[in-house]
Structure 1
Amino acid sequence: MKAIATTVIVTADGKITLQLPPDIPPGEHQVVLVIDEQPAPPELVTKKERPPLNFPVDSYGSWPADLSLKREDMYD
């Protein structure tokens, strides 16, 4: 079983188009479709309109010269 989570656009006539990954073999498959009752907000529908994420950056200087990250040195 493979789970695929994606966002789709439902047309006025109730149709969607879905592109599956190439590792799904051709043939008849059972599919379970779960629809959220609330449509996605318009800003989440197209990723091109979403502003880039702005994560905070903290600088603490360079590593100490004598820093050892060996397990034996970190734990007694």
Structure 2
Amino acid sequence: MKTIETIATVTKDGKITVQLPPDIPAGEHQVVIVIEDKPVAEKVAMKEKRPPFNFPVDHYGSWPENLSLRREDMYDDWGR
């Protein structure tokens, strides 16, 4: 028995189309179908309406003008 979670397309006449992995052999299979109450598009729209994260911001002022982040200025000849 395999459990496959995928997206299925349901047409207006109630037919369903599902893409299965290639390792499922051809022939008749017993399947169980669970349908969510809302279509996937509605769930995506609900996620987009979520407000953005509110991360704290600390401001320590601007960097000094003579600050150099070059590797040669940060490390000695031994690379430490």
Structure 1 length normalisation: TM-score? Answer: 0.48
Structure with the higher strand share, 1 or 2: 2
Question: Over alpha carbons, which structure has the higher Rg?
Answer: 2
**Structure showing greater relative contact order (alpha-carbon pairs closer than 8 Å, 6 or more residues apart):** 1
Structure 2 length normalisation: TM-score? Answer: 0.46
